[in-house]
Chain A
Amino acid sequence: MADTLFIILAVLTVVSALLVVVNRNAVNAAMFLIVSLVGMAGLFVLLDAPMLAFVLLLVYAGAVVALFLFIIMLLDTTPGAQKPYSKVTLAASLLGAGLMIVGICTLSNRAVLPHAPEQVAVPTLKNYAEQLFTTYLLPVQVVGFMLLIAMLGVIVLSKKFETTEGAK
């Protein structure tokens, strides 16, 4: 059952990620991003991390994509005629694709990766909390400050300051 689920979720995630890139309309791209996120949350559940799946759906599908849609509709970007790609871009893309294929071949042929432990306890909220408040206490504080700074930065960035000429 886990194999079938993995195939379904992997195909869902990859296809919708491709549609995010290919779609000409930014709103549709954001919608396909949500589908891709749902697929990835399913993969997280498959990897025995249901907590992270919930957090992913809440933070990304809830907040981030909503913010994206808000900005897309605020800026009203009509898809115009796209200029042809420059030669450098095409060369970089081809080089990147080639490197990725080489990497995937190496991974599937040569890599020696550990087998999954047969039974691993599914981490609960308690386990996460224990880690976050003991080993990772300092990073949690730092991330909290980081969020505060980001909030202040966004306020400063989006505020319209009166110029000195305007004040006169």
Chain B
Amino acid sequence: MIPLLAAATYGLPSYLLLSAVLFAIGFFGVLLRKNTLVIYMCLELMLLASTLALVAFSRFNGTLDGSVFVFFVLTIAAAEVAVGLAIIVALFRQRHTIQVEELNHLKH
């Protein structure tokens, strides 16, 4: 396969910038949304943004370690999603809501 990036002007800073912007979008989603499921999706977005940074670093250093690490990140992310969604379902069974402002029983 021909390397696509052989003569590209967009280097590592562009990818890091894109990764930072995606991370920020996810972060603001976590801050501003009230639905637990959407918050969880935004968390996944943040994880993916860091993954993109890892792959970019791996490519621009010419090593494979970053890419291998991304494998592990993806595996853990899959397990994490399964456990998190099970927790949300258990929570919904107990409280019949998944809006975060109504889930404040630890506060009182």
Contact = CB atoms under 8 A, between A and B. Distances in A.
Interface of A: 1-3, 5-6, 10, 13-14, 17-18, 20-21, 26, 29-30, 33, 36-37, 40, 43-52, 55-56, 59-60, 63-64, 67-68, 71-72, 74-75, 77, 79-80, 82-83, 85, 89, 92-93, 96-97, 100, 103-104, 107-108, 111, 113-120, 122-123, 127-128, 131-132, 135-136, 139, 143, 146-147, 150-151, 153-154, 157-158
A77 B75 contact: no
Interface of B: 1, 3-18, 20-22, 24-29, 31-35, 37-38, 40-42, 44-45, 48, 51-52, 55-56, 58-62, 64-65, 67-68, 70-72, 74-83, 85-90, 92, 98-99, 101
Given A3-B8, A49-B58, 13 more contacts: A48-B3, A48-B59, A56-B51, A56-B74, A79-B35, A96-B24, A97-B24, A111-B13, A114-B60, A116-B5, A143-B76, A150-B79, A154-B83
Contact of A21 (B33, B55, B81): B33
**Candidate in A29, A51, A89, A92 with the most chain B CB atoms within 10 angstroms:** A29
A6 B28 CA distance: 24
A50 B56 CA distance: 13
Contact of A154 (B10, B51, B74, B82): B82
19 contacts: A1-B4, A6-B10, A21-B28, A26-B38, A36-B45, A46-B5, A50-B1, A79-B35, A89-B32, A96-B31, A97-B24, A135-B68, A146-B76, A150-B79, A150-B83, A151-B79, A154-B82, A157-B83, A157-B89
Given A21-B32, A143-B75, A120 B45 contact: no
Contacts of B52: 40, 43-44
A99 B85 CA distance: 31
A116 B12 contact: yes
A80 B20 CA distance: 31
Contact of B77 (A49, A64, A136): A64
Contact of A2 (B8, B34, B42): B8
A47 B33 contact: no
A97 B4 CA distance: 33
Given A17-B45, A80-B99, A116-B59, A6 B68 contact: no
Given A50-B1, A64-B77, A77-B37, A44 B83 contact: no
B35 A26 contact: yes
A13 B92 CA distance: 31
